[in-house]
Structure 1
Amino acid sequence: MLSCHRMNITARTASVLKIHMQMLSNKCLSAKAYIFEKQFVGFPKPTDFKLVEEELSPIKDGEFLAEAVYLSVDPYMRAYAPRLQTGKTFIGSQVAKIIESRHEKFPVGKYVVGEFGWRTHTISNGKPMLNGVPQAWIIPDLGNLPLSIALGALGMPGNTAYFGFLELCQPKPGETVFVTGAAGAVGSLVGQIAKIKGCKVVGIAGSDEKGKWLTDELGFDHFINYKTDDIVKKIKECAPNGIDCYFDNVGGEISSKILLNMNTFGRISVCGAISGYNETSSPKATIVQYPVTMNQLRMEGFIAHRWLDRWFEGIQQNMKWIEEGKLKYRETVTHGFENMYSAFADMLRGGNTGKAIVKV
């Protein structure tokens, strides 16, 4: 009898504890989020966003709650904006910690890269988005590397550089490679991967300070300052025998001038066109069909998630190169969730070197 009595007390205690835990998990948690209030007209303005506070519902079976640690700001956000619906959380990826979970594949304590947008807390079911891109993926063991690198060299920008350059440009040792936006999150990695593959690399960026970083630390062979240099003259000086591969981040007139100096059967990987993202009308540039035809160039645009089935291949290879000292990275970190817009605007103006990150 005594044994049964103790068992009943234990069962009752467990039941009370379970109810208490459920009550705790059902507490309303608030999240801060930036709502895409108005479509951008020209350069994005602070008033195009609205910072709100939302109450989150309790998580359900098959869901988890993640708390943002680092958020990313990237050029693609400006490019995608015309397609976005206003009144919704603005897009973007983040490194987040799982703080509550009812999803066996996303346990508490793990860190994920989530396509959660500009918000501090997110409830997710982990399922892919409508375009097939993972809503969240667990960050693998990074050793001594910081978690923020999962938004840069060991994340989407790193895979953009790895796959976009190697798969489309297919560089060969001894070839000459040009990279625009060379001091950014993607371009800085592309140039280094080109050097790993035995190429001569020329980077184009907007300040001599960035140029010094590219040549002195990252191993680029030459640098062109598009703001102060005579671009046509410098292209001839840096590539007297022509250009074999071009990784294009900016588009516009600079790209047209590069195309005119490419060798027969040259390859162009088009990653972006940031030079025209803030234009209110279609930007104009010298015709590209002539050099493409006459030099039989291959020009192809891409989005990194084309290689989703090989996603961790790129991460593992880039990590190996970092560990070997062959691939270096830099982050420009802005502190405070309230400074998301400032970080975004600064990145669009070229104020960052390497990956632009916001630390919550």
Structure 2
Amino acid sequence: MKTILLNNRPQGKPTTSNFEFVTEDTELTIKDGEILLEAAYVSVDPYLRGRMSDAKSYVPPFQLNEPVQSGVIAKVTATKNDNFKEGDYVSGLLNWQTQQVSNGDGLNKVDGTKAPLSAFLGILGMTGLTAYLGLNEIGKPKAGETIVVSGAAGAVGSVVGQIAKILGLNVIGIAGTDEKIDMLKSKFGFDAGINYNTNKDINAEIKKLAPNGVDIYFDNVGGPISDAVLFNINRFARIIICGAISVYNETETPKSVSVQPFLVKNSALMQGFIVSNYADKFPGAIKQLSEWLAEEKLTYTETIVNGFENIPTAFIDLFEGKNKGKMIVKI
């Protein structure tokens, strides 16, 4: 059995030295009510960086010398729990371990005949739910409006843009390479894209692409990109704060423009969220996402890295933008 522990807390950008691999020559056993799980796919996500710091947040920090956790698809290889049978696949928040024992709490069965198993970590999992519920519950989109999505080629951003197009919005995506911009337009149906690495005046570029202003901003990155969007928001704009990957590794408090004048003069809303805020809406959201996927109105891209030993590297690669869509490790 292999396990990945948090060895020490990152200072700035994480490195592989922040993690420790432990191999145990042990045979796990289960008691009544328990199941034995074998990891199949592991999700790596930017929000995990926050849990590696010993700071107050919406979830407790990871403990040193304890396993890191994230979304995992696992196979039930033995069971003494009537709710699960051998061969079932489940998804849930689990340890970075090749094998582990669970009582089944917090696990959901997934059906690999309906969609690839990895999709239940992405478009049919927390990724899709985050995009759908953040956009609809906070953004309140209306046909004909303009939305800007940062981190648009990432797991959440690429789904947000597609849902916005389904709902009749004009969609502008911001990403870090020309290849990603081409993908946004050709694969995901975005109307326009901005490469933040080659465009020196994002404010002006947004103004050109959205001459009538921005009604919704889905913010995955924070930092200067988000500052540029503020200069273009409309009256009653809705700004959805999903993430801030551009500042997660900062060791000092980042400087930014003051948002208050923009919000006041535009009567605009800015709201942060975590997807569990809307847990009661998960069933309906998954039903709608599944229907759109079956109707081929939604598609998705995954970056799949092979090998349990590559989980930390895949996680670190998120902060260099090496992923297209959802980053997943296949065990």
TM-score > 0.5, shorter chain as reference: yes
State the Cα distance separating 1:291 from its structure 2 match.
0.2
1:99 equivalent to 2:84? Answer no
The match for 2:94 is: 116
Equivalent position to 1:318, from 284, 289, 313: 289
Equivalent position to 2:167, from 193, 197, 217: 197
Q: Give 3-state SS (helix, strand or coil) of 1:116's partner.
A: strand
The match for 1:4 is: none
The match for 2:250 is: 279
Distance in 1 (CA, whole Å) between partners of 2:51 and 2:267 is: 31
Deviating more after overlay: 314-323 vs 238-247: 314-323
Please list, as runs of the form range in 1=range in 2, the aligned pairs for 1:178-193 lying within 5 A after superposition: 178-193=148-163
The match for 1:332 is: 303
- The structure having more radius of gyration, on CA atoms, is 1
User: What amino acid sits opposite 2:313 in the alignment?
Assistant: S
Equivalent position to 2:13, from 43, 59, 62: 43
State the Cα distance separating 1:172 from its structure 2 match.
0.1
State the Cα distance separating 1:114 from its structure 2 match.
2.2
The match for 1:61 is: 32
Q: Give 3-state SS (helix, strand or coil) of 1:85's partner.
A: coil
State the Cα distance separating 1:216 from its structure 2 match.
1.3
Distance in 2 (CA, whole Å) between partners of 1:110 and 1:310 is: 25
1:260 equivalent to 2:231? Answer yes
> Judging changes above 3 Å, is the alpha-carbon distance between structure 1 residues 56 and 312 closer, same or farther for their aligned structure 2 residues?
farther
Q: Give 3-state SS (helix, strand or coil) of 1:280's partner.
A: coil
The match for 2:57 is: none
State the Cα distance separating 1:320 from its structure 2 match.
1.0
Say whether the 8 Å CA contact 2:203–2:232 is kept in structure 1.
Answer: no
Distance in 2 (CA, whole Å) between partners of 1:192 and 1:56 is: 46
The match for 2:198 is: 228
Aligned residues: 322
State the Cα distance separating 1:148 from its structure 2 match.
0.5
Say whether the 8 Å CA contact 2:43–2:329 is kept in structure 1.
Answer: yes
The match for 2:4 is: 34
Equivalent position to 1:86, from 46, 64, 67: 64
The match for 1:24 is: none
- Please report the RMSD computed on the Cα atoms of aligned residues, expressed in angstroms: 1.2
State the Cα distance separating 1:144 from its structure 2 match.
4.8
Distance in 2 (CA, whole Å) between partners of 1:340 and 1:237 is: 41
For normalisation by structure 1, the TM-score amounts to 0.87
Distance in 1 (CA, whole Å) between partners of 2:95 and 2:208 is: 44
- The structure with more helix, counted as a fraction of residues: 1
The match for 2:182 is: 212
Q: Which 5+ residue runs of structure 1 have no aligned equivalent?
A: 1-30, 128-133
Q: Give 3-state SS (helix, strand or coil) of 1:272's partner.
A: coil
Distance in 1 (CA, whole Å) between partners of 2:22 and 2:93 is: 19
State the Cα distance separating 1:106 from its structure 2 match.
2.1
Distance in 2 (CA, whole Å) between partners of 1:107 and 1:308 is: 26
Q: Give 3-state SS (helix, strand or coil) of 2:271's partner.
A: strand
The match for 2:56 is: none
State the Cα distance separating 1:317 from its structure 2 match.
1.2
> Judging changes above 3 Å, is the alpha-carbon distance between structure 1 residues 265 and 56 closer, same or farther for their aligned structure 2 residues?
farther
State the Cα distance separating 1:79 from its structure 2 match.
2.1
Equivalent position to 1:126, from 78, 100, 104: 104
Percent identity over the alignment?
A: 48
State the Cα distance separating 1:316 from its structure 2 match.
1.9
State the Cα distance separating 1:80 from its structure 2 match.
2.1
Equivalent position to 1:306, from 243, 253, 277: 277
